[in-house]
Amino acid sequence: MTRREFAKGMTGIAGGLIAGKGARAGERSSRKNHPRFDEAAETAGGLTDVEGFKVGHFTDERRPTGCTVVLCEKGVVAGVDVRGGAPGTRETDLLNPVNTVQRIYGLALSGGSAFGLDTASGVMRYLDEKGIGFPVGQSIHIPIVPAAILFDLELGDPKIRPTAEAGYRACQNASSGKVAEGNIGAGAGATVGKLFGPKFAMKSGLGTASVRAGDTGVIVAALVAVNAAGDVRDTRTGAILAGARAEDGTGFRDTMKQIRNGYSILKSAAGKNTTIGVVATNASLTKAEATKVAQMAHDGYARAINPVHTPYDGDTVFALSTGTLKADEQAGSIGALAAEVMAEAILRAALQATGILGLPSYRDLHK
């Protein structure tokens, strides 16, 4: 798709499919009266509810792509788990519990496929200017910044992708305030429901949520950019919120139903997806425990996306621990909460997105 074609499509977004079709008559409902949307409006919280984290976005206005950075300038314990078959990552080996470095200082999630890994260099530059990083000797500090990417190069001009400068600017935009969601940062070019081709996909985006465990003081939060091959489903009802649409553009195919009926996944879907996310907590975790929490957080992916962890997704979850809460927390309980809050963040990524270029969103189908 050329830049001119993309711009033309953006101009006409108010008409056509998004304004006129929506879901089938029997499936159409008012967004105002849809409980899942209403409940998600202000109550979900976000990653910055865990003290010590800042989140910043850079969104490229020339086409839908961008990056999201998580800054943890005092350093945090981190783990990672990669389950998709087509990952794009940086510095994940370093997070193996047997390896030396114990803390990271930033994290980059980006669109742009493998090109987007360069955003981590911009985060490193930003932290280096502040003298933040892993101490080596008396005067050298190396910022440790893992990263993961998703594929969004088919929307607009593929030569436009996040760069090191984009990562640096996202750091400049970072704050500990409320995290913006939807078509922003790493979620700007995110879509879902692509196993039948991009023509039938829907727009997704970036979502975040948090949970407080009673009066224990424990907070667990998640942030995720959802660019899945599969469908996003409501974890309460099983209903599809965003996914592969029917042949006429209305209603949903139900990807898993089609696979059960013998549909063969097209090889052309390879490597063009990926959901990337992070869970964070104020609980004290070791690297091994953080790795287990990252593994458990993938259950949130499985609850909200179906199918998931395919050979065509690079699904990755990072887990971060500030350790500021000095209590006897159980890593298993933190992981269970991480799965819950990750599923909620995935739903918000679908609920908060807005349609673009013939790709309707949940909001468009429930006007």
Residue 354 belongs to domain with CATH number: 3.60.70.12
Residue ranges, the chain, pLDDT below 70: 1-43, 265-271
pLDDT of residue 36: 52
- For the chain, the 3-state helix, strand and coil shares in percent, each to the nearest 5, are 30, 25, 45
How far apart CA 134 and CA 117 sit, in angstroms, is 20
pLDDT of residue 270: 57
Parent domain of 151: 3-365
pLDDT of residue 339: 97
How far apart CA 68 and CA 224 sit, in angstroms, is 10
How far apart CA 316 and CA 67 sit, in angstroms, is 15
How far apart CA 317 and CA 52 sit, in angstroms, is 19
pLDDT of residue 144: 95
Domain count for the chain, please give it: 1
Strand partners, 280: 221, 320
Q: Dihedral of the CA atoms 333, 303, 290, 73 (nearest 10)?
A: -110
For 93: left if phi > 0, alpha if psi spans -120 to 50, otherwise beta; the answer is: alpha
Selection from 26, 44, 87 nearest residue 340 by Cα? 44
What phi, psi does 241 have (nearest 5°)? -95, -35
H or E stretch at 20? helix 16-20
Selection from 209, 206, 181, 241 nearest residue 362 by Cα? 241
How far apart CA 363 and CA 352 sit, in angstroms, is 7
